[in-house]
Amino acid sequence: MKVTYLQQLPYRHFDGDFAARGHEPAVSTDFGLTEPALVHQDLQHAHDEMLHAVRAGFDAIALNEHSQSAYDMSPNPDLSAAILAQVIGSEDLDTGIYLVGRSLGKVREPLRVAEELAWLDNLSGGRLLAGFPIGLAYDANLNAGVPPIETRARYDENLALVLRAWTASEPFGWNGKYSQYLKVNVWPRPFQDPHPPVSITGIGNPNTTRFALERDLGFNVVSLGAGIDAQRILDDLWRMAAELNLDDNPFRVTVGQRVLVAGSDAEAERLYAEHVEYHLKCGVPAVPVKYLALPGGISPQGLRALFGSGMGGGSDTLPTFREQVESGALVAGSPATVREVLAERVRSYRGGNLLVQLQTGSMPTDLVKHNIDLFASSVLPELRGIWSEYAGANRWWPTRLGGLPVSACQSGLNGVKLT
């Protein structure tokens, strides 16, 4: 299987009263609560951690996009990806660069997305994986100002433009509902032929799951403790795949998981508990549910699926470290414990790609690197062989790194739509 290191770029220094005083980590965080020198430090440390993971031997490094967000200061992940591409290329490492989140549902300049990712694919020498989520409601509709009712229609139009811009043999005009261009002529075209592998992220809406399957896109479930039932989502995906007579190749699925490794289970709690608590107060779980499902942005079927999974109906009391582990929101403990839990989980999910977040909450950079080193030396080698029988049929991974070219269905300009 493929194991990818996922990095967020959080501000790691809010005080203990951050949540108690009514603050939350997206949309309206008061910048006056930060120290600019610490913002600078956190950004430097996040990139140092990514490069540490590159050299530790992960299959890829993943980045996300979150505008106006204190839990992930990454308004455009292409900026960080350019740093990675230069280093990975100069050191000639077989490491992919996975942009899990360029949110096409909120984009007002889709041609810029096509250009930037094609440029990155060339800079990296064909190591790019392109993730195109619809976009979190707060990010697309509040921060970017896109009306919720337009989000999914914009996604369809923007995806069609990006794919055509990447694959067209000559300049063309584009007269869409949401964007218009007299001439589209992306320079350069992507390094990969016909283009980098494309994936979409889902949080339980069955319409999104079916769209990914019918377009042969990779499918990501990245809950990171935000109350999303990955098992239910993926059970539904494989049931739909069978109904559609599609193959059951596990490499079409990527699952995200927060992971903390230590010398023993008890030491994991001692080392990491305070940082997990910070994540609950100041990270994704602290984003109010009203920002995640704005009226008009999701179908009734999607709302039923989300609320049926328990999102938005939790307790006012923060779960303890042990409760997080017992619920499955967090995998933590000795290398043996972590290996056992992760292996069982990816087999249960039938996920060929594991996305591990090894920095969480307020973890200082030395502790993050300690976690990276323990995972890379004592856990990662034991996971490599899972799904090895499918390794030669992975069309959701760059060809330079051992994958197959994407399918014609994924590249098709007249494919099924999200709306």
Residues 231-258 have pLDDT tens digits of 999 999 999 999 999 999 999 999 999 9
Residue whose pair of structure tokens reads 């069982």 in the numeric block: 344
Residue 310's pLDDT band, with cuts at 50, 70 and 90, is low
Which of 26-40, 121-135, 332-346 bottoms out in mean pLDDT, i.e. has the lowest?
26-40
- pLDDT in the model for residue 313: 46
Q: What confidence tens digit (pLDDT) does each residue in 5-49 have?
A: 999 999 999 987 777 777 888 888 889 899 999 999 999 999 999
pLDDT tops 50 at residue 336: yes
Q: 262 near 268, Cβ under 8 Å? A: yes
Residue 224's pLDDT band, with cuts at 50, 70 and 90, is low
Q: Of 15, 50, 27, 33, nearest to 359 (Cα)?
A: 50
- pLDDT in the model for residue 244: 96
Segment 355-384 mean pLDDT: 97
Give this prediction's pTM: 0.94
Which of 170-184, 217-231, 247-261, 382-396 bottoms out in mean pLDDT, i.e. has the lowest?
217-231
Segment 180-187 mean pLDDT: 96
pLDDT tops 70 at residue 148: yes
Which backbone phi and psi does 129 adopt, to 5 degrees? -120, 130
Residue 307's pLDDT band, with cuts at 50, 70 and 90, is low
Which backbone phi and psi does 24 adopt, to 5 degrees? -140, 160
Higher pLDDT, 38 or 313: 38
pLDDT tops 90 at residue 365: yes
Segment 51-68 mean pLDDT: 96
Residue 305's pLDDT band, with cuts at 50, 70 and 90, is low
List of domains in the chain: 2-411 (3.20.20.30)
- pLDDT in the model for residue 387: 97
pLDDT tops 90 at residue 204: no
Residue 101's pLDDT band, with cuts at 50, 70 and 90, is confident
Q: How far apart are CA 6 and CA 371, in angstroms?
A: 13
Higher pLDDT, 111 or 144: 111
List Cα–Cα distances, 117 to 81, 98, 190, 235, 417, in angstroms. 10, 11, 8, 32, 22
pLDDT tops 50 at residue 314: no
Q: What is the overall mean pLDDT for the chain?
A: 92
Give me the percent of the chain exceeding a pLDDT of 70. 94
